[in-house]
Structure 1
Amino acid sequence: MEQMSKYTLKFKAKEIEEKYQAQSYQKHLKPLFYGLLIMALSLNTLQLAINSQKNNLVIPYINMGFIIICLIGLYVMYKIEGLTAKIITITNAYSLSLQFNFSPETTQGQEYYLYGCNFSLIQAVIYFSTDFHLSCPSLLLHIIFRQTSTILLTNKIDVQSLSLSMATAILITCVLYMCNKAYRIQFLMNYQQDTINNQLHKLINKPFSKIQFNEKKLQIDVQTTAFHEQFEDYNNEFCTGCNVRSFIRNCIINNMTLEQALISSQVKFDESFEVKLQRKKVKIRLCQYNIDNSIILIQESVQKDPILYKKVSYNLQQSLFKQFNAIRKTPQNQQFQFGTLSILMLRQFQIRTINIRKLIKNLMSIYLISKKIKLNFNGDYTIKIRTYGHLIKIFLIQVFCILQDLEYQQNYLEEISILNLETCLQIKLTINDQFPFFPLYLRNYFIEQTAPYLLLNPLNYNLEFQFSKIMPFNDVNLEY
């Protein structure tokens, strides 16, 4: 309500008020005014034809004036749509003059009453079709005019009639205020809903869908989607709605489908949680959309299943480890060891807890010559991540190999920033020129084999590595 004036009910924001007036004109005022014009022109023309035979020069002028005002109103409405409400109010006010078309000599008492009721009903329609700041003064003018005319024509003041007029004015004013207020609140809610719908894809940069349970059809209706082709198990042969519904039906949470959980209101809102989709873990978020009781489903991230590879001989591993321990530890020998271990451990999917701070510092001392690199942990003294232990080491070894090559080309690393987020561990590299890094990264075989299991999103030119914190289910969490 703070967006509307307390007394006139106008929206304080000019843009919203203009949109409200435009909608009101198309939905209410335009069809109403056309109907009133046809009725008024027909009845007044008929009255002119009847009165022209009575040689009464006073009464026809009232009807002629009404016809002229209607024609002017039609022209104004055609040329200046914004004045339609005002011209309707003026026409409604002029209709009071029709009271002088009736006299006791030519009109029976019951006819007086019938005509009065009909005029009042037509005027009431106009009251409720126009804004409160127009209808309220019009209503008060009508009541004051009728009461004053009655007092002058009867030469007496009827206290009961005066009291009834005052009570009627107060009652109708209150009802007009409440109705116009309700219309505007409903418009504001719809306007806000449309605005949010149009901005959702800008606010959410992940696959999402706005859904609602249709009780009549007993199905999930899909209202708005973005990046829907990135939903897990998306099928190009299905429509967007079918893909989203299929996703909801196939996700399992607490031994039931996500669809059943949504319908029975057994899901968590406004926080991330995991569901099972075949042999994958999918992290999603549900947000309630209170305006129309819809739900926004956001796919946060997906943890792929590890591919099964043939186990490397245990005896071979132990033999190589003994050789490595016997070799003198120099940067060159350690690089050789890392390369050999990368080949041996490339297919190992054991989940371990890795101390990122210790690992990064070790790799920097081996691969990089420059000691001026800024290492920013953003306030976290010890940063650990539980992930595929061997794979993340292989991945980071290859990244530092690329940085070493760039350093030889005088393209120095300036900063490594590590940020511990809710769904991922973000490592950002700042290099003098980041563009030479990307082709080397894309052509690296070890990175190609490990990145899909470690990163939430593919790397782009901002060089932000987002290591997923989502681990697969226990049934695939095997050591090979």
Structure 2
Amino acid sequence: MNKFLLTFKDSKIEKDYQENKLNTLQKPIFYWLLVMSFTLNLLKVILDYTYYTVNNQSWMNVGFVILVILELFLACYKKQYIKYALIISNLSAGLLQINFDESNTFPQEYYSYGSYYAMLSVVVYFMTDFPYSVFQVFIHLSMKIFFTTIKSHRIDMLGIILGLITNVFLVLTLYICDWNSRRQFLLNLREVRWEESLPFIIKKPFYLFTYKDKNMSFQVNRAYNQDFFPYYNQEDCCGCNFRQFLRKCKVENNNLEIYLFDKRNEKLDFDLVYQNKTHKFDIRVCAIGLDQINYLIILEKLKLLTTSYIPKQTNLRQKIFQIKKTQIKYQHQKHFLLGVFSMFLYNNKEITSINLVDVLQKFSSRYFIISKSKIHIVYSDRSIYQLITYKHQLIIYLIQLFDCLINNQADPHSGIKLLLNQGLYAIRLKIYLTNRLKFQEQYKDNFFIQEIERNILSEEIDERLEISFLKKVRSAETSI
């Protein structure tokens, strides 16, 4: 930054600074000044011609009304000219020193009006850049000395010295304020660029957020790979997924949202471990920043829970023998036993590419032969429903799922409708079934479904009977 002119050496940064200053400061103040100037000058003209009996030189006020109209058209034509319009208005306001009728104005009114105009001039000084502010200060000082000398017919050395000293202090103050304003802009710019660089620095899924006192809630500033966090739903917005995550994670017998709210004025830096049926999440929470505290939640490590949840072979055999001993009333339950024996391949973590439409159609035709129940599969383009998943577990899961569907079909001739929808990270299977409650009960009680779904689904089945198949499953130890 140039230390004398106070301009950034980088032309792009200077342009961004000018645009920010124009939109946040110059434009709103400019329009308010136009309204005030137009109203007061028009009122002065009306009073001169209707109320006062003396000539108060209203020609100058008429000139100001015309100037306001011209500046308004100029600002509407090109917003960049607003700062020049402010300078012209401020300089022309110096002429008001001679727009008084001495025979109709009291000395105290001179003092009051002079103070008001001085305050308005200072407002414009701070809104314009430092070189333009110095130019206006110099012109105004020259105009005041000149008009005072002409009107009083003498040179007031004390007034001139006082004017020079006060203007030196004013210029120094303007310099410091403009310098600090530009420094603050650079700090804000660095903070924004730092936030943009976080994905390249951290290289792990994270949430960067702040607490908003106005809304009394946490607001996400930036997120990276948020789909790795628990309870992520691609149909929800970033903020909804974030708040859901905060409310589900527990810290010291409170959810994470309440804990952070209670500690919002403290510097935080701690680790927590969150675990659901599917994964184990190692999470880091820390507070950064000085003036405004930002919070950073980093997903340090994600581990797929396979070994601790895989049923032992002996327990699995017991489940199978119990099923064999039960009375088999339906023919399709014999087919179900094939899926049960397939559970011996549960530890086979072979990941392959599978077309979900092809698999569903095979199961549909097979179960139609067994139960005479029609299963309609609705989809758009067969090629887009591709999964990279655990082959054996997907087949076992579908065997159990179709078995639950057939068992809970109220009318075999009515058929079952399955609707496939393409998502960002998952393929959603919507089930249309009349006997929903009974199906949900049997689904949740199914031992094999509960063991498998955490590996191939992005989330548990919801009340709408919508199943979300992960497009690409993660390995047991995921490197983030």
TM over 0.5: yes
Which amino acid is the alignment partner of residue 29 of structure 2?
L
Partner of 1:209: 207
Distance 1:216 1:56 in 2: 55
Q: Is the 8 A contact 1:59 1:100 kept in 2?
A: no
Structure 2 residue aligned with 1:82, among 67, 77, 80?
Answer: 80
After TM superposition, give the deviation of residue 168 of structure 1 in Å. Answer: 1.6
Partner of 2:280: 281
Q: Is the 8 A contact 1:250 1:277 kept in 2?
A: no
Partner of 2:304: 304
Q: Is the 8 A contact 1:93 1:138 kept in 2?
A: yes
Q: Is the 8 A contact 1:211 1:220 kept in 2?
A: yes
> How do 1:4-403 and structure 2 match up within 5 A?
4-48=1-45, 59=57, 61-102=59-100, 104-193=102-191, 206-213=204-211, 220-234=218-232, 240-241=238-239, 243-251=241-249, 262=260, 264=263, 268=269, 275-278=273-276, 280-286=279-285, 288-290=287-289, 292-305=292-305, 306=307, 307-311=309-313
Instruction: State the secondary structure of the residue aligned to 1:87.
Output: helix
Q: Is the 8 A contact 2:41 2:62 kept in 1?
A: yes
Distance 1:266 1:51 in 2: 65
Distance 2:194 2:160 in 1: 51
After TM superposition, give the deviation of residue 200 of structure 1 in Å. Answer: 5.8
Q: Is the 8 A contact 2:145 2:160 kept in 1?
A: yes
> How do 1:445-456 and structure 2 match up within 5 A?
none
After TM superposition, give the deviation of residue 197 of structure 1 in Å. Answer: 5.5
Partner of 1:416: none
Q: Is the 8 A contact 1:209 1:228 kept in 2?
A: yes
After TM superposition, give the deviation of residue 73 of structure 1 in Å. Answer: 1.8
Instruction: State the secondary structure of the residue aligned to 2:67.
Output: helix
Gaps of 5+ in 2: 316-341, 353-385, 396-451, 457-469
Please give the per-residue CA displacement for 1:350-405, whole angstroms capped at 9, x wherever unaligned.
xxxxxxxxxxxxxxxxxxxxxxxxxxxxxxxxxxxxxxxxx8xx97xx99xxxxxx
After TM superposition, give the deviation of residue 165 of structure 1 in Å. Answer: 1.3
Instruction: State the secondary structure of the residue aligned to 2:117.
Output: helix
Q: Is the 8 A contact 2:304 2:476 kept in 1?
A: no
Which amino acid is the alignment partner of residue 296 of structure 1?
L
Q: 1:38 to 1:248 in 2, by over 3 A?
A: closer
After TM superposition, give the deviation of residue 89 of structure 1 in Å. Answer: 0.6
Distance 1:86 1:309 in 2: 78
> How do 1:422-461 and structure 2 match up within 5 A?
none
Gaps of 5+ in 1: 314-342, 349-390, 400-438, 471-480
Which amino acid is the alignment partner of residue 295 of structure 1?
Y
Instruction: State the secondary structure of the residue aligned to 1:232.
Output: coil
Q: Is the 8 A contact 1:86 1:134 kept in 2?
A: no
Please give the per-residue CA displacement for 1:136-166, whole angstroms capped at 9, x wherever unaligned.
3212221232123323443444443233212
Give the superposed CA RMSD: 4.9
Distance 1:121 1:469 in 2: 62
Which amino acid is the alignment partner of residue 309 of structure 1?
P
Give the TM-score normalised by the residue count of structure 2. Answer: 0.55
Distance 1:300 1:466 in 2: 15
Percent pairwise identity: 27
Q: Is the 8 A contact 2:206 2:299 kept in 1?
A: yes
Distance 1:217 1:81 in 2: 33
Distance 2:205 2:107 in 1: 72
Q: 1:137 to 1:256 in 2, by over 3 A?
A: same
Greater CA deviation, 204-213 or 56-65? 56-65
Distance 2:299 2:100 in 1: 73
Please give the per-residue CA displacement for 1:287-311, whole angstroms capped at 9, x wherever unaligned.
6452742122232432122232334
Q: Is the 8 A contact 1:211 1:222 kept in 2?
A: yes
Q: Alignment length, in residue pairs? A: 342
Q: Is the 8 A contact 2:97 2:147 kept in 1?
A: no
Greater CA deviation, 121-130 or 40-49? 40-49
